[in-house]
Amino acid sequence: MSDIKERIKNIYPAAEFEEGEDLLVIVAEADWHHVAERLKNEKGLEFDVLTALVGMDWKESLGVIYYLTSTSRGWDMISVKVIAAGDRDNAYIHSVSDLWKVANFQEREVYDLLGIKFVGHPDMRRFFLRNDWVGHPLRKDYDADPKLNPIRLEDEVNEDDTRSFEIDSNGQLKEVPGKVFAAEDYVVNIGPQHPSTHGVMRFRASIDGEEVKKVDVVSGYIHRGIEKLSEGLGYPQILHFTDRMDYMSAHQNRHCLCMCIEKALGLEIPRRAEVIRVMMDELMRISSHLLSFGCTAMDLGATTAFFYGFRERELVLDIFEKTCGARMSMNYNVIGGVIADLHPDFVKDVKHLIEIMPDRLKEYHKVFSGNIIAMNRLKGVGMLSREDAVNYDITGPSGRGSNWSCDCRKVRPYSIYSELDFEEVLLDGCDSYSRYMVRMKEIEQSCRILAQLVDNIPEGDIRAQVPKIVKLPVGRWYQQVEASRGTFGVYIESTGEKTPYRVHFQSPCFNLVGVMDLCCTGNMIADLITIGAALDFVIPDIDR
């Protein structure tokens, strides 16, 4: 890590550094694209993953904080701060979507919510909000008057026109019109109301015969504005939002936010709480993968497998219910530990679960995995190479199905994961089937972790002493965990108040939906559904 400063100075002598949790490099907007290219390609640096892209409004200026990770340097992470050029109405930053493809949707999100225009981005449309939305909500001076943006009941006009921005010879921002689809394209609309898109996602696919030529993702049908809401609430009050983003990773997401706040407060968590948290995370992962198994099967018409998956999932939910008091949206982790102690039946129930799971998994494989229809529909479909997985930052089972070792529990261990004995499941099929199989094998690994912990839950407190009013010191923090669908990140910027200045949730599903175009192109239109099922995105996690 120590040589990074030197190396960055070499490629960009004007770099300013700010010490913090991670090294923060301040780069001038005019140099940004050039520096980004060097950061990505320069030997010895090779920041090949754009982990997070956080749009910021510092009142006097707008800007973006980029979190870059270098897998070849042992997952070293730096952050880069770029302040937008131009005045507030015409703030712009050069796009890096040509270097890191994952930036494509993320820059559109920042454009939508903060109004920063990305120069060179091919498709600068709004991402979450209606085309006719007035204002950019994440700006600090956003006018929330409902008269400006009433509940509109007339249908939104499909936006086929897009735009990109470039800087002309006078240094002025210039808008260049473009088209999403060509006039001769045959476009099929899928969603937003269809269960096989796994929620309220909408795709517009142009097809040639049955072959998909392009998929346009229309998101925002469940954009609830969690990041803006969080800015007005105290830290303990924003915890519950994480349970409702990716509701199938509720424990992990909340664990992440709690860890981020605890890190900022410098809190030490009792060992018992750590063990309970990890066990809950793994139970959540099992429940999520079982649901994913059931839904993948159901999307292919195998309803029986769905019932099988849900049968075991109910056992996990029973464990949650006994200890947390709820089947879903458990609200279990709190700052400093967990909210309630384990139910007396917990150990017995978990043992029962890990005892029956191996047999049940065999049953699943018999019912579905080896089924000829499943094989034909999943094998060789939705190819995603390892390079693309890295470039699009596809983490979780989907990334590991492309043989990318990206398990946050291994590469950047948190909590007590470094002490545990488990394997990172990697498959090199790069197709839907590999993604599906990674999930099934991860259930085994989660059971293995649970088996190691179930008899070793230490006695002690379940919660550390936390001040009544939680105030974070001035600074910024970024924390990641391995959620059920990939790496989930939380960014908090604090000015020392009771409420955060900015909270950003970097959700894994947001990146997953970004490869729909890449994975579906060249496949049959019917495979769009199975590719989506195998990627297994949860829509409220995308939209937040």
Partner 1 sequence: MGVDHIKSMTREDFKDNEYIDSLVEELNATGANVMVGKFDDLINWGISNSLWPLCFGTSCCAIEFMSLGAARYDMARFGFEVARNSPRQADYVMVQGTIVHRMAPVMRRLYEQLAEPKYVIACGGCAVSGGPFKNSYCVVPGVEEIIPVDVFIPGCPPRPEAMFYGLMQLQRKIKVQKFFGGVNRKEKIDQFFAEHPEEKGQIS
Which residues of the chain form contacts with partner 1 (CB under 8 A)? 128-130, 133, 137, 142, 144, 149-156, 192-196, 199-200, 220-226, 228-229, 232, 240-241, 244, 247-248, 291, 306-307, 310-311, 313-314, 317, 327-329, 539-540
Query: CB of residue 416 vs partner 1: minimum separation in angstroms?
Result: 28
Gyration radius (Cα) of the chain, Å: 23
Query: CB of residue 12 vs partner 1: minimum separation in angstroms?
Result: 38
Cβ distance 444 to 450 under 8 Å?
A: no
CB atoms within 10 A of CB 184: 6
CA distance 198 to 190: 12
Cβ distance 431 to 381 under 8 Å?
A: yes
Cβ distance 540 to 246 under 8 Å?
A: yes
CB atoms within 10 A of CB 463: 17
Place of tokens 């458990």: 330
Task: State which residue, 287 or 402, has the beta carbon closest to partner 1.
Answer: 287
Query: CB of residue 133 vs partner 1: minimum separation in angstroms?
Result: 8
Tokens coding 6: 């030197």
Tokens coding 333: 């982790």
Task: State which residue, 12 or 105, has the beta carbon closest to partner 1.
Answer: 105
79-68-483 Cα angle (round to 5): 105
Sequence-separated (6 or more) residues with CB below 8 Å from residue 309:
290, 291, 293, 294, 297, 364
C-alpha pair distances (Å), 308 with each of 233, 251, 295, 305, 361: 41, 23, 11, 5, 10
CA distance 487 to 400: 12
Task: State which residue, 33 or 504, has the beta carbon closest to partner 1.
Answer: 504
192 preceded by a cis bond (ω within 30 of 0): yes
CA distance 284 to 323: 13
Sequence-separated (6 or more) residues with CB below 8 Å from residue 36:
66, 80, 96, 99
Cβ distance 260 to 492 under 8 Å?
A: yes
CA distance 298 to 305: 7
Cβ distance 97 to 103 under 8 Å?
A: yes
At residue 256, what is the residue type?
A: C
Task: State in Å, rounded, how far the first CA of the chain is from the last one.
Answer: 33
Give kind and range of the element (H or E) at residue 376.
Answer: helix 372-378
CB atoms within 10 A of CB 180: 18
Cβ distance 208 to 533 under 8 Å?
A: no
Task: State which residue, 147 or 468, has the beta carbon closest to partner 1.
Answer: 147
CA distance 271 to 294: 35
Of the candidates 455, 391, 452, 401, the one whose C-alpha atom is nearest the C-alpha of residue 424 is 401
Query: CB of residue 142 vs partner 1: minimum separation in angstroms?
Result: 8
